[in-house]
């Protein structure tokens, strides 16, 4: 699904990722942990194609129709249309753009790209209501301005709602657990778990082992100084919880 080779990334001339290598197969769930400033969020922004992050070397090969294509050669919106989805740590508020209008535009763009017919107004509404139920998001939030005045938990649920609606193949969840209370964490995690499938890969970026109690990863990677310094299974998270990162 995804193969990253020797990825180096700068922000304003400061090197943040210093030679990252990672392979993710279809259906796998990878967790990325690491201390603050180790490059975790940079990794998600680079995958999304954020213009502030400059890739100085390396490749991000992503499988599209059984062929690998370098994501770095694709525009940000093209990556999204090909199934790359980032659930942001801080979802942006956009006053005046209704959540529903935004979801519809995004969904239609994906449908068009995939060559499938757009849904009728009625069918789309049924679909979006169903997905909102999945993350227990009150339908009234669909008709409000996008993320405006949403609580932290509501914003994160809205991100997972988008993920459920757009059915991406590669999902990167950037600290989706931060700012969530226990109930919300459970709801969001159940939403994510329901979206696990053989052909969908998920990357969880998190600081806390707690999220991994709910969403069981296949692999855990530890980022430090812009590189992966250790990879292990679920037990690594428990070890990190008790020892911290200094021993690595």
Partner 1 sequence: MAVNPTSHLQLLKNNNLWPSKNEENWKYFDFKKFETSLGSKEFKPNSSEVIFSSDLSYEIKLSSNKIIIAENLKRLIEFQFVESPQYINLDSKLDFRMTRLNLESKSLKIEIQNQKDLNFKISYEAYDDNLNLFIILDIRNSDVSLLEQDLVGEGCSFTNHLQIKLENSNLEHIALFATRHEHQLALKEQVKIYNAEICVGNNSNYNNTTLIVKNRFIRIQQSVALESENATGYLNAFNISDGPNFSELRTEVLHLKPKTESRQLFKTIAADSSQSVFNGRIFVNALAQKTVASQLCQGILLHPKAEINAKPELEIYADDVKAAHGAAIGQLGQDQVFYLISRGIKPEAAYKMLSKAFAGEVLSSIRQKSFREVCQNIIDLSSEAVFAKLAEDINMLGHQR
Q: Phi and psi for 26 in degrees, rounded to 5? A: -55, 140
- The two beta strands, 84-87 and 170-174, are parallel
- Candidate list 11, 109, 167, 195; residue touching partner 1; CB under 8 A: 109
Binding mask 22-61 toward partner 1 (x if CB under 8 A, else -) reads --------------------------xxxx----------
Write down the least CB distance from residue 213 to partner 1, Å: 29
Closest CA to 156 of 206, 109, 121: 206
Q: Please, which residues have CB within 8 angstroms of residue 61's CB and are 6 or more apart in sequence? A: 2, 3, 4, 5, 68, 69, 70, 71
Q: Using the rule CB under 8 A, which residue among 12, 13, 75, 117 binds partner 1? A: 75
What number of chain residues touch partner 1 (CB under 8 A)? 28
For residues 147 and 159, give the distance between their C-alpha atoms in angstroms, rounded to a whole number.
Answer: 10
Site string for partner 1, 156-195 (x = CB under 8 A): ------x---x-----------------------------
Among 16, 60, 110, 205, binds partner 1 (CB under 8 A): 110
Separation CA 135–CA 137 (nearest Å)? 5
Eight-state DSSP code of residue 44: H
Should residue 77 be labelled a site residue for partner 1 when binding is judged by CB under 8 A? yes
CB-wise, 192 or 236, nearer to partner 1? Answer: 192
Which listed residue (23, 56, 57, 94) binds partner 1 by CB under 8 A? 94
Among positions 101, 125, 218, 239, the unique one binding partner 1 when judged by CB under 8 A? 101
- The span from the CA of 107 to the CA of 131, in Å, is 13
- Residue 61 · residue 69 · CB < 8 Å: yes
Residue ranges that bind partner 1, judged by CB under 8 A: 48-51, 75-77, 79-81, 86, 88, 91-92, 94-97, 101-102, 105-106, 109-110, 113, 145, 162, 166
């Amino acid at each position: 699904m995804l193969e990253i080779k020797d990825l180096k990334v700068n922000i304003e001339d400061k090197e943040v990722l210093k030679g990252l290598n990672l392979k993710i197969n279809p259906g796998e769930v990878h967790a990325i942990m690491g201390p603050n400033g180790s490059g975790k969020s940079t990794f998600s922004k680079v995958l999304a194609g954020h213009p502030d992050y400059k890739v100085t070397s390396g490749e991000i090969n992503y499988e599209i129709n059984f062929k690998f294509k370098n994501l770095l050669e694709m525009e940000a919106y093209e990556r999204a249309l090909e199934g790359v989805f980032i659930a942001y740590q801080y979802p942006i508020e956009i006053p005046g753009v209704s959540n529903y209008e935004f979801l519809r535009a995004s969904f239609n763009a994906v449908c068009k790209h995939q060559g499938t017919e757009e849904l009728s107004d009625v069918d789309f509404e049924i679909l979006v209501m169903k997905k909102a139920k999945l993350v227990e998001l009150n339908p009234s939030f669909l008709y409000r301005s996008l993320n405006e005045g949403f609580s932290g938990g509501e914003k994160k649920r809205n991100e997972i709602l988008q993920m459920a609606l757009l059915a991406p193949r590669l999902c990167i969840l950037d600290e989706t657990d931060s700012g969530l209370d226990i109930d919300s964490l459970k709801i969001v995690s159940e939403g994510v778990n329901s979206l696990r499938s053989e052909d969908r890969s998920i990357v969880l970026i998190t600081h806390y082992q707690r999220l991994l109690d709910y969403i069981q990863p296949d692999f855990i990677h530890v980022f430090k100084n812009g590189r992966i310094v250790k990879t292990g299974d679920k037990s690594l998270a428990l070890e990190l919880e008790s020892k911290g990162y200094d021993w690595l």
